[in-house]
Amino acid sequence: MTTANHSSPDNHPPDELLIGYSAGSLPLSQALCISAHLEHCNTCQRKLQRLNLVGSALMQQLQPSPTSARLKSSILDQLDNLIEEQTPPPSGTDSSVPRCLRQFIRGGYHNLNWKRVSKDISRIELCRDNNGARVELLKIRPGGAVATHTHLGDEYTVVLEGSFSDEKGLYQRGDFLRRDHNDRHTPVATHDRECICLAVSEGPIQLTGFFSRLLNPFIRRTHAG
């Protein structure tokens, strides 16, 4: 695994998200993005370890709440009958797929049922989160561009394969980006290979390019559905 040491601070999740991940309060779709990034990033792993220490220290400072003797004996009585569920890794899992995504991606990225949405882009929806966020993979062909767009909600992106750049910089494998409604951006994949990203979007995106403006009603509808 590569580490994201080449990255500027902007290519890591903001502290607020790591804190939410550590505390367990982050929507699961955002936690997926953090987890996919963590596999590549020692810096954030280290920060997370420190944040977990804070949670642990706070838990120890709570006024302990006594448990009943019955609870204790009922748990002790169960021990002999417990067998750990061994979930073997699904066969044919591609080790380049982050572990947190293997629940959705059984084989490699190429066995997925990609849907072409433009000349340069294919997508596949993996799932939805409770807050309505859409979790999907985007595939941009080498040198391909995503129509300039702004976001009505936040969008989180982690680069899984290849690399792309936008107005703010270059993003490589493992890099994390958050864009909100103030950001207007045009991602372009680098020319050497296709780029695959995990993308979580919490509101419809707004295309601002001339041609793509025509597509807007369509996009809004798919998000609402």
Partner 1 sequence: MPLENRINSDPNAVRNTYHTPMSTTVKKPAGGGESASLGVCMRRVAKHRDKDAFAKLFDHYAPQLRAYSLAHEPGAGLVADELVQEVMIRVWLKAGKYNAGLSSLNTWIFTLARNCRIDHLRRNKRYVTTIDPADIFNDIEDENPGPFQQAQISRIEENIHAGLKELPRGQAEVLTKVYLEGKSHRQASVELELPLGTVKSRVRLALKKLEVLLTR
Buried b / exposed e along 88-109 (16+ C-beta atoms within 10 A) = eeeeeeeeebbebbeebbeeeb
Q: Please select the residue that binds Zn ion; options are 18, 31, 32, 44, rule is CB under 5 A.
A: 44
**Closest Cα partner for 166 from 180, 185, 143, 181?**
185
Is residue 42 a contact point for partner 1 (CB under 8 A)? Answer: yes
Compare residues 77 and 110 and give the one whose CB is closer to partner 1.
77
Q: Which entry of partner 1, Zn ion, none binds 41, CB below 5 to 8 A by partner kind?
A: Zn ion
Nearest Cα neighbor of 198 from 111, 130, 75, 109 is 109
Please provide the distance, in angstroms rounded to a whole number, between the alpha carbons at the two ends of the chain: 37
Q: Which residue has the tokens 């707004």?
A: 206
Q: Which of residues 120-139 bind partner 1 (CB under 8 A)?
A: 127-130, 135
Angle between helices 42-61 and 15-23 (to 10 degrees): 50
Beta strands 121-128 and 134-140: pairing type?
A: antiparallel
213 near partner 1 (CB under 8 A): no
- Out of 41, 126, 199, 200, the residue judged to bind Zn ion by CB under 5 A: 41
Q: Could you tell me which stretch among 97-105, 149-157, 173-181, 213-221 binds partner 1 (CB under 8 A)?
A: 97-105
Which residues of the shown chain bind partner 1 in the complex (CB under 8 A)? 15-16, 19-20, 22-26, 28-29, 31-32, 35, 38-39, 42, 45-47, 49-68, 71-72, 74-76, 78-79, 82, 84, 99-100, 102-103, 127-130, 135
